Structures are given as structure tokens and as C-alpha cells.
Amino acid sequence: MSGKFITLEGGEGAGKTTCLKHIEKRIKEAGIDLCVTREPGGTRTGEKIREILLDRGNFDILDDTELILMFAARSQHLNEVISPALVAGTWVLCDRFTDATYAYQGGGRGISQQRIADLEHWVQKGLKPDLTLLLDLPVDVGLERAGKRSTPDRFESEDISFMQRMRLTYLDIASREPERVKVIDSSQALGNVLSQIDSILDDLLAGATSE
Ligand code: T5A
């Protein structure tokens, strides 16, 4: 596979949507073909699964059902969108991926890492992002930002302790995989957040254009 696979992660209200647009602009300005997508979702079937997962009315979804639905959407997404793009040399920028499963279903819900790893192995067959930008900020700051926006979905309705376990899981992944996962302090003003992202992208794009 020759395209680069970049994912964006973070807790609620971390600013992913805001930063995604900036990253997309930088990569496209460098003349690189880019596919921008998201999880759960990114395909017709995946977007239907997303609706089920985010709907606050679905309070009775079991933890394992939630986990399996995440990977069902991911399987569709990988086969239909992500892998074909990477094979064609197109870069893929994805709003959330499997680190979110470890953080939300693992850290938040308490599902074992091994169970998630088994599904990851089955569905992804070893495929991992080349670069993950983790937008990290204290849970209360993120919830305040997200709260200003809209009615909370099924995940945004979880309590603070769920969010804290989710944040710690993300940080744990970053400490175990520092080469892949770059932590961005997204509690700062937007300009500072984008500067942190730019310095990482500068290195990545310099490497890509010299290849
Ligand atoms: N999920 C997903 C799982 O549980 N398991 C999985 O495996 C996967 C893939 C998906 C949900 O699914 C869960 C996690 C999620 O809950 P989502 O749409 O990806 O949903 O997730 P959200 O976190 O809800 O994403 P949002 O787009 O809603 O939030 P963002 O993108 O993090 O935040 P954004 O950019 O909209 O910013 C929030 C507000 O803050 C402001 C923005 O203007 C906006 O108003 N803001 C700032 N304000 C001050 N300073 C800054 N630096 C700011 N940056 C942004």
C-alpha cells in the first residue's frame, strides 16, 4: 500500500472537526490525492450503523453489540473505501478509527483489550494508521465545548468517569506507540492547536514529497 493512512482521535469536543478541515487543506495544497472519511460511517451501510450507535433512544444496546457494530461498520469501510484508496496511492484522513474502540468500548465500557484486539486482528488483518493525531484535553473542557453545540448523542450522554477512563486509555495508547500517535494539547487556543498539528504535518509532507 502506498497512500498514507492518517487518523484523528480525541474525546468529546476535542476539536476534531475543526482540525480535520485544516489538515485536509494542508494535504491537498501539497498536491496529494486525499480521501476524507469518518468512523463509525464512511459507507452507506456504515452510516446506517452510525445512526443506530449514536441514537440516544437506543439505550438498550449491549456493550458487546456496540463493539461488534463498530467493527461491522469498520469492515465495510476498510473494504469499500480505505484499502482501495491506499492501494491506489491516495492518502486517507479518517475522523476516528480503532483507537476510539479501545478508548470508548475498552476504557469507557470496560470491555477487555484482548477481545478488542481479536476483532481488530480479524477485521484489519494488520492494517494500522501510519499517523494518529490525538487531540487531548481535560474532560470538563471538552464537554463544555461540545455542550454549547447540540443535543448530546448516546456517547456524549455518558458520565464524567466514562470520559475520564476513555481519555486515560487514549493517553496509554499514545505512551505505548509514540512513533504513531502524536498527542496534541487541544486545551489551548485554536491557533496554538493548529501550530502543533502543522509542525507534525510539515515533517510528514516533507517526507512524502521527497519520496
Ligand atoms: N466511537 C467512535 C466509539 O465509541 N467507538 C469507535 O470505535 C468509534 C469510531 C462518534 C462517536 O462514536 C464514538 C465516539 C464518538 O462519541 P464523532 O462525531 O466522531 O462521533 O465524535 P464527537 O467527539 O462527537 O465529534 P464532534 O465532531 O462532535 O466533536 P469534535 O470534532 O471533537 O469537536 P468540534 O471540532 O466540533 O469542536 C467542538 C466545539 O469546540 C470549539 C468548536 O468551535 C466547536 O464549537 N473548539 C474550540 N474552542 C476553543 N478552543 C479550541 N482550540 C477549539 N477547538 C474547537
Output the pLDDT for position 29.
Answer: 96
Q: Give the pLDDT confidence of 87-140 residue by residue, as tens digits.
A: 999 999 999 999 999 999 999 999 999 999 999 999 999 999 999 999 999 999
Q: What is the CATH number of the domain that holds 77?
A: 3.40.50.300
Which of 108-119 are b and which e, b meaning 16 or more Cβ less than 10 Å from the residue's Cβ?
Answer: bbebeeeebeeb
Output the pLDDT for position 198.
Answer: 98
How far is ligand 1, taken at its centre, from the CA of residue 35, in Å?
19
Share of the chain above pLDDT 90, in %: 89
Q: How confident is the model at residue 141 (pLDDT cuts 50, 70, 90)?
A: very high
Ligand 1 proximal residues by C-beta, below 6 Å: 10, 12-18, 39-40, 70, 95-96, 100-101, 104-105, 145-146, 148-149, 155-156, 186, 189-190, 193
Task: Report the interhelical angle of 63-77 vs 113-124 (nearest 10°).
Answer: 20
How far is ligand 1, taken at its centre, from the CA of residue 3, in Å?
25
How many domains does the structure of the chain reveal?
1
What strands lie across the sheet with 5-10, from one edge to the other?
34-38, 91-95, 5-10, 131-136, 181-185
Q: From CA 208, how far away is CA 204, in angstroms rounded?
A: 6
Q: Which domain holds residue 112?
A: 5-209
